[in-house]
Structure 1
């Protein structure tokens, strides 16, 4: 399994692209799933995204 890093294929910070690469999923599908989960969890995903942005190293 690849190392978890932020992707250069980024829309905002590369977090979803990095997660997609790490999981072996399609980048667009990962972004859609993450957006839906963020809306369904009262926007807790925004906080998680910011934390991952800070913690994950750049590719």
Structure 2
């Protein structure tokens, strides 16, 4: 029985690495662990082609709304003009309740 709602292929929150296989499993209504085992089995005869396909899907598959993946976070940070590693604070820290003292002098 088909439903009228359109399903969209997105990365999943059920992720081991990037959520690609979890997202495909959700789209196909399969168990994600079964798909992961199938991926590992197919990786051997494909001589690594499966890994390249996975990396390609990792970069082009969107994350679910409200769940920004790694590439979306980097893309959003670069659009804001910030480095992805920098926080949005002013960068300066204030220290309160500190008493400064000179080091004691030793007379010889």
TM-score (norm 2): 0.52
Q: For residue 23 of structure 1, what is the aligned residue in structure 2? A: 28
C-alpha root-mean-square deviation of aligned residues, in Å?
Answer: 1.0
Q: Cα deviation per residue 1:17-45 (whole Å; 9 max; x = unaligned)?
A: 00100111101001000111111211100
Which of structures 1 and 2 has the larger relative contact order (alpha carbons within 8 angstroms, sep 6+)? 1
Rg larger for: 2
Runs of at least 5 residues in structure 2 that lack an aligned partner in the other structure: 1-5, 65-108
Structure 1 length-normalised TM: 0.93
Gaps of 5+ in 1: none
More helix, by proportion: 1
Q: Which runs of 4+ in 1 moved over 6 A?
A: none
Mapped pair 1:52 → 2:57:
yes
Q: How many residues align?
A: 59
